[in-house]
Amino acid sequence: MTVPRFWREQPQRYRLVGATCTVCDRVFFPPRTVCPSCRRESVGKVEERQLSGRGTVRSWTVVHDPAEGFELQVPYVMAIIELEEGCQTVGQVVDVEPDEVETGMPVRMVFRKIREDGAGGVIYYGFKFRPVA
Amino acid sequence: MRRVGIVGIGQTRFGELWEHSLRQLVTEAGMKAILGCKVAGEEIDALYVGTMASGQFVNQELIAPMVLDAAGLADLHIPTTHVEGAGASGAMALRQAYLAVASGNLDVAIAGGVEKTTDVPDKEVTRILGAASDQEWEAFFGATDPALHALIARAHMQEYGTTREQLAAVSVKNHRNGAKNPDAHFQREVDAETVMASKMVADPLRVFDIAPISDGAAAAVLVPWEDAASFAEDPVEILASGQGSDSLSVSARGNLTSFGSTRHAADQAYRQAELSAEDVDVAEVHDAYTINEIIGIEDLGFAEPGQGGPFVVDGKADVDGDVAVNPSGGLKSRGHPPGATGVAQAVELVRQLRGDAKGRQVGDARVGLACNTGGTGVVSVVHLLGVAE
């Protein structure tokens, strides 16, 4: 991934900045500029929205055959997280044994290193989720 | 809209075909299709080629004119179009050819599908296939394509009680069928214990839940139905074509256990043909992962939501069942060259409807359905094929 491509997404990846449609109050993550409910009425009326980072696990898997750059993390948990604002995202669930993850588990967003492009490459940071103690 | 028929079909063997280039594969399939019917080069109005990622797999763009050239037709300057929809590229190419002939704008169109995946290392294959997931919001965080399908599988298990054994039954059935398909990548049976003991990829999905990524090509020649008899003795009609889309990210969907793209495509196709799921005798259903076939069986209306697993376990999807699902072996056993799969599904249906499927022939097959899906249900294409009563 090129540096500009990553930089563009930093507010979302570092702080979980989403968006909200000011017509219908629907919240989106990742942010979008057109609301699928209001469509043409929403143009110019979708604003940034800081999400709380709190949510629950909706579905999860333990990845044993990793994506490139994730080899040292196996086995790792990927999940669909339902955020309390009503939108969903994919993210890793960490600080927990994989066999302790379950659907409905409350989690919160944490800022972590995601991976790096080799020894001298870009280090990518972003959000993961951990169980709420 | 005019009625459209398939008069010629061709397919290479699927598998790890180290000795064949993309050019050789697609030419072999295309020439088989053309030689199987009476169509002259001068009569061909257009060529549609489905490939997912030839630009990455063999570093070749302009793949559609290259295919035309390889077939010895470059001097005729026939228009060519590359169609991309990840694993559904083939069926999308077939649909474009169908729409062109049905519209009356063209008379003879060729649909081809090809992928040459083994010219890059395995790790590259994974990365290239992963490009069909949302790069910025899924893949970035470490979600592989199997992981995303595992999230869907777990959701289905939790919502409906679908079991690990039911997933395995899909793989067992498709290998049993593929063992009788001389074109298949894997021509041997497996038992449920082998499937469930195979290497875990993304829990609950194991290696034997996942279709291999193969080399291969397939092609079909389409003409107006009214002229079909002059091109071939045994034409098969394309009764309907439907296509649908969904969000690029799985996580953007409220419903994780059904593919809206497939339902949309199936609704369109059934409506156009004035048929329903009960009319289908044989179906080729996208099974890149075992969970895909279970969800497909439900979305296509062969079983109620949540009943796809029991449908397979009870033998209703067997070659002699209610609806024979994947008599070719499906993606799991026939193999999955992403661009070729959708066309190969149609090739299998034509064989079944002509009664040419030998050891895996479905009895009295009159109506066939093909469902080809790209990404995590991001795009889906449904075709209905039939033979005259």
For B33-63, how does the pLDDT look when each residue is reduced to its tens digit (9 = 90+)? 999 999 999 999 999 999 999 999 999 999 9
Residues B144-166 as b or e (16 or more Cβ within 10 Å = b):
bbbbbbbbbbbbbbbebebebeb
Quick check: B126 and A68 CB within 8 A?
yes
Q: How far apart are CA A24 and CA B272, in angstroms?
A: 36
| pLDDT surpasses 90 at A6 | no
Judged by DSSP in three states, B385 sits in strand
Name the residue of chain A whose CA is nearest to B138's CA: A90
Cβ-contact A68, A38 below 8 angstroms: no
Mean pLDDT of chain B: 97
Cβ atoms of B191 and B242 closer than 8 Å: no
Beta strand pairing status for B4-11 and A123-131? unpaired
Mean pLDDT for the stretch of residues B210-217: 98
Closest CA to B34 of B62, B76, B72, B65: B72
Q: Is the CB of B256 less than 8 angstroms away from the CB of A30?
A: no
pLDDT band per the 50, 70, 90 thresholds, residue B351: very high
Between CA B286 and CA B267 the distance in angstroms is 17
Residue with tokens 């989106």, as numbered in its chain: A28
Please list the alpha-helical segments (H only) found in A1-126: 3-8, 10-15
Q: Which residues on chain A are in Cβ contact (under 8 Å) with B138? A: 90
Specify burial of residue A133 (Cβ count, 10 A radius: 0-12, 13-18, 19+).
Answer: exposed
Rounded distance between C-alpha atoms, residue A106 and residue A100, angstroms? 12
The whole-number pLDDT of residue A66 equals: 94
Q: How far apart are CA B289 and CA B291, in angstroms?
A: 5
pLDDT in tens, A92-105: 999 999 999 999 99
Q: Is the ipTM of this complex over 0.85?
A: yes
Shortest CB distance from B137 goes to which of A70, A76, A89? A89
H/E segment holding residue B48:
strand B46-50
Contacts of A2 in chain B (CB under 8 A): none
| A121 pLDDT more than 90 | no
**Whether pLDDT at B93 is above 90:** yes
B226 interface with A at CB cutoff 8 Å: no
Residue A45, token pair as written in the block:
């009326």
User: Which residue of A6, A29, A61 is the best one to mutate when testing the B interface, meaning the one whose CB has the most B CBs within 10 A?
Assistant: A61
Q: What is the pLDDT at residue A5? A: 81
Q: Do B251 and A64 touch (CB under 8 A)?
A: no
**Does residue A10 have a pLDDT over 90?**
no
User: Using an 8 Å Cβ cutoff, are B5 and B237 in contact?
Assistant: yes
Tokens of B389: 């009563």
> Residue B320 — φ and ψ, nearest 5°?
-105, 20
Task: Return the exposure string of B90-108: e unless at least 16 CB atoms fall within 10 Å of the residue's CB, then b.
Answer: bbbbbbbbbbbbbeeebbb
Render pLDDT for A37-87 as a digit per residue (tens, 0 to 9).
Answer: 999 999 999 999 999 999 999 999 999 999 989 999 999 999 999 999 999
Band (B389; pLDDT cuts 50, 70, 90): low
Q: What is the pLDDT of residues B366-377, one digit of tens each?
A: 999 999 999 999
pLDDT at B260: 98
Contact B117, B223 (CB under 8 A): no
Cβ–Cβ of B141/A91 closer than 8 Å? yes
Mean pLDDT of B66-92: 97
State the average pLDDT over residues B133-160: 96
Q: Do A126 and B251 touch (CB under 8 A)?
A: no
Whether B277 shows a pLDDT value over 80: the answer reads yes
**Does residue B212 come out as left (phi exceeding 0), alpha (psi in the -120 to 50 range) or beta?**
beta
Least confident range from A51-55, B98-102, B125-129, B259-263: namely B125-129
For residue A76, which residues of chain B lie inside 8 Å, CB to CB?
Answer: 142
Q: How far apart are CA B117 and CA B129, in angstroms?
A: 10
Band of the pLDDT at B388, cuts 50, 70, 90?
confident
Residue A4, number of CB atoms within 10 A of its CB: 7
Q: What is the mean pLDDT of residues B301-308?
A: 98
Instruction: Say what the pTM is.
Output: 0.97
Sign of CA dihedral B32, B36, B42, B44: negative
